[in-house]
Structure 1
C-alpha cells in the first residue's frame, strides 16, 4: 500500500510539473507588446496598422455576435472607424496570460474593457469581456488567426 501511495504522489508531482504555466518571459513580453501595438492602432483608428496584425485566415468567435471571418472583420473595422461613435479598448491590468503553442505560436488570454464616446458626450464604460487570441508566428511575423470573445457584460455605467 505504501508503494502505491508513493507511486501515485510521484506521478501527480511529475504531471503537475509538465503543465504549462503563464510565462513572464520573452514570449509573454512579445505578446504583450503586440497586444499594446494592435490596440493602440484600434484606439487611434489606424486601420492599416490594425489590419497588419490579423491573419487572412482569421476566425472570430463572439458569444453575442456569432462567427465572423477576416473580410467581415475588416469591413466592420472600416465602418466603426468612420462612425461618430469612438471605441477604446483597455486591457484589465494583471489579467493577461500567455502560453506557448508548440510549432505554431502562442495563446493569449485575458479580460478587457471597452469604452465608448458618443459625439458630444464624455467617454463611458460600455462592456467587459474575456478573450482568447491565438497568435501564429510565421518567419518571425506574428498574426492573430483565432479570436474568442466571451462572457460579455454590457452597459456597465
Structure 2
C-alpha cells in the first residue's frame, strides 16, 4: 500500500511539468522538503522518458556537459551517452527502470542544485524472461536560472 501511495505521488508530480513550483504547505503535508519533491519529480520525468524510450526528453534533461560514470562501462559524455541510449532503445525487448522506495537521499548543494543518492531496479527481457538487477546511483542535479533542472553528473555503480 505504501508503494502504491508513492507511485501516485510520483505520477502527480510528473504531471506538474518541469518548472512548476511547489508550495511550502505541499512539502510539509507530504513530509518531504520542496527540494526532495522537486528532485523526485525530476527523477520521475527522467525515467518515465527512459521507460518510454523518449530520447528527445532525455536529451533535454541531460546537461550538454553531462559526465556519466559507470563502474563497468567507464566515462561517457553527453554525445556518447545519447548514442548508447539510442542503441539501447533500438533493441527489440522490454526495458524498465524503477526507483526503489525508501532508498533515496537528497541533499542540497549550495549555489548549484542537489545530489540524489539511491538504488534502482532495471529490468530487461533476456531469453524470453525478465532479468532484473538492483544497482546504486548518484545523480548531481543543477538548478538553472529559469528554475528548471538538468542532470549534470551520473555515477552508476555496484553492478
Tell me which interval the TM-score lies in, with the shorter structure as reference length.
Answer: 0.7 to 0.9
Please give the root-mean-square deviation of Cα atoms over the aligned residues, in Å.
1.5
CA distance in 2 between partners of 1:151 and 1:124 (Å): 16
Q: Which residue of structure 2 aligns with residue 113 of structure 1?
A: 121
Unaligned runs of 5+ in 1: 1-22, 153-157
Native 8 Å contact 1:135 1:146 kept in 2: yes
Report the Cα offset of residue 86 of structure 1. Answer: 2.9
- Normalised by the size of structure 2, how large is the TM-score? 0.76
Distance in 2, Cα, partners of 1:85 & 1:134: 29
Superposed CA offset, 1:13-69 (max 9, x none): xxxxxxxxxx92000000001101110110010111121110000001111111111
Match of 1:7 in 2: none
Aligned equivalents of 2:125, 2:156: Cα separation in 1:
22
Give distance in 1, aligned partners of 2:79 and 2:58.
13
Displacement of 1:118 in angstroms is 4.2
Aligned to 1:30: 38
- Aligned runs of 1:5-154 on 2, under 5 Å? 24-118=32-126, 121-125=128-132, 127-139=133-145, 140-152=147-159
Match for residue 17 of structure 1? none
CA separation in 1, counterparts of 2:129 and 2:73? Answer: 26
What is the Cα deviation at residue 123 of structure 1? 2.9
Residue 24 of structure 1 aligns to a residue whose secondary structure is coil
TM-score where L is the length of structure 1: 0.77
Question: Using the alignment, how far apart are the partners of 2:93 and 2:78 within structure 1?
Answer: 22
Structure 2 unaligned spans of 5+? 1-30
Aligned length: 128
Compute the displacement of 1:129 (Å). 1.0
